[in-house]
Amino acid sequence: MTSFLRPRPALTSLAWPLAALALLVLFNLLFTPGFFNIELRDARLFGTPIDILNHASKVAIVAVGMTLVIATGGVDLSVGAVVAIAGAIAAMLATRTQAPFPLVVLAALAAGGVAGLCNGVLVTRLRLQPIVATLVLMVAGRGVAQLITDGLIITFEHRELSSLANTSFALLPIPAWIAIALALATGLLTRRTAAGMFLEAVGDNDRACRYAGVNDRAIKLAAYAFCGGCAGLAGLVECSYIKAADANNAGLFLELDVILAVVIGGTSLSGGRFSISGSLAGAVLIQTLTKTMYMHDVSADVAPLPKAIAVLAVCVLQSPVVKDRVSAAFSRGRP
C-alpha cells in the first residue's frame, strides 16, 4: 500500500470521534432549541456547550492519564475511587485545617500519585494482571475515602477550592483550561521526546523492549503514577464543583466513561498505540451525548441505551475491518 493511503495514525484516530461529534452537534442544531444559546454574563460564557466542556473536562483529565496506561497495554480501574480519595483529602484539609490552597492541591495530587504508584508496583513488581491489580484499589479505595470523611458528606466554604470548578478564566471554565493544558503538556512530553515511543514500544512488546535496553518496568510505573495523579486532579475538580466531598458518589463509574473516551479516541486497548487528542474528543463526545439526552428528556432508565448505540457505532466504524473496507472503497474511487 502506498503511503498516502495510510494517513498518519493520529489523524485517522481523531477522524471518527470528531465525525460522530459533528453529527451529534448537527442533530442538536436541528432538534434542540436553545442548544447553542451562548451569552456573555459576568465576563464568562454561559450556555450548554460551555457546560459540556466543563463536565467533559473531568473525564478528559483522567482520560489523559488513562491513555498512557492503556498505551502500555494496561488499564486502571481504580480512577473513580482515587477521585473520591483525593476529593476527601482536599475537603478535609480545607475544612479541618488552615492549610494554604497550594498545599491542598498538592496533597490531593500526591494522594492520587501514591495510589497510582501502588497500582504500578502491583503490576510491575508482583506482575499482576493490570485489571486485577487496579481492581483492588477500585474496591478498597472508596472505603478509604469513607474512612477519611468518616462517612459524611464534607461541605466546605473554602474560597479558592470552591471557585476552582465554578469560575471562568478567559471565557472558559477553569476545568476546561486544566484539561487542555494537561493534554497539551502530556502531548508535548510524549511526542516531542522519546517517552511516547517508549510507551508504545512497551505496550507493543515489553520483552523485546527489555532486551533492547529499555526499562519497561519504570515506564509502566510512571504511567500508573501519572494516571493516579490525573485522577487526583479530577478529584479536586469534582469536589470543587459541588463544594463538597461526597465519598460515596464522587467518581462513581467514572472509570467506565474514561475507558470509553480513550477507546473511542482510537487508543488500542491491547496497547502499543495511543492518541491523547482522540481521548479528549472521546470525552467531549460522551458528555455531549449525556447532555443531549438530558435536553430531550430521555428518562434516566433508558438513557444508557442510546449512549450504548452511539458508542457501538463509533467502535464499529473504528474496527480495522471496517476501516480497511472504507479506505479500499476510497482508493477505488480515485482516478
Partner 1 sequence: MPTRRPTRRTILAAFCLAGLSLAACEKKAEDKPAEPKAGATGTPAPKLRVGFSQIGAESDWRRANTESIKGEAAKRGVELVFADAQQKQENQIKALRSFIQQKVDVIAFSPVVETGWEPVLKEVKEAGIPVILTDRAVDVSDPNLFVTFIGADFVEEGRRAANWVVKATGGKAMVAELQGTPGSAPAIDRKKGFEEVIKAHPDIKVIKSQSGEFTRAKGKEVMETFLKSSEGASINVLYAHNDDMALGAIQAIEEAGRKPGVDIKIVSIDAVRAAFEAMVAGKLNCTVECNPLLGPQLFDAVEALAAKKPVEKRIVTKEGVFEQAQAAEAIKTRQY
Chain residues binding partner 1 by CB under 8 A are 33-34, 37, 41, 46-48, 51, 55, 122, 126-129, 132-133, 135-136, 139-140, 142-143, 146-147, 151-153, 155, 166, 204-205, 207, 238, 241-244, 246, 248-250, 270, 291, 294-295, 297, 299-301
Tell me how far, at minimum, the Cβ of 232 lies from partner 1, in Å. Answer: 17
Q: How far is the CB of 189 from partner 1 (least distance, A)?
A: 26
Distance of CA 92 to the CA centre of its chain: 25
Q: Which is nearer to partner 1, 242 or 317 (CB)?
A: 242
User: Shortest distance, CB of residue 286 to partner 1, whole angstroms?
Assistant: 13
3-state secondary structure 86-122: HHHHHHHHHHHCCCCHHHHHHHHHHHHHHHHHHHHHH
Q: Least Å distance between CB 66 and partner 1? A: 20
Cβ nearer to partner 1, comparing 120 with 187: 120
User: Whose Cβ is closer to partner 1: residue 11's or residue 152's?
Assistant: 152
Of 135 and 184, CB closest to partner 1: 135
Shortest Å, Cβ 146 to partner 1: 6
Q: Of the two residues 223 and 276, which places its CB atom closer to partner 1 in the complex?
A: 223
Of 74 and 187, the one with the shorter C-beta distance to partner 1 is 74
Report the candidate in 122, 12, 108, 110 with the shortest Cα–Cα distance to residue 74. Answer: 122
Smallest gap, in angstroms, from Cβ of residue 139 to partner 1? 5
CA distances in angstroms from 15 to 63, 279, 281, 282, 333, listed in the order given: 18, 12, 10, 11, 20
CA distance 17 to 3: 23
| Least gap, CB of 321 to partner 1 (angstroms) | 19
Cα atoms in the 13 Å half-sphere on the side-chain side of 220: 32
Residue 125: all three cell numbers together: 513488581
The C-alpha atoms of residue 83 and residue 21 are separated, in whole angstroms, by 27
Beta carbons within 10 angstroms of residue 27's beta carbon: 14
Burial letters 106-115, b for 16+ CB under 10 A, else e: ebbbebbbbb
Closest distance of CB 323 from partner 1, Å: 20
Q: CB-wise, 207 or 332, nearer to partner 1?
A: 207
CB 63 within 8 A of CB 262: yes
Nearer to partner 1, 96 or 296 (CB): 296
Q: Cβ of 171: how many Cβ atoms within 10 Å?
A: 13
Provide the grid cell at 323: 476501516
Percent composition of the chain: helix, strand, coil (DSSP 3-state, to 5): 70, 5, 25
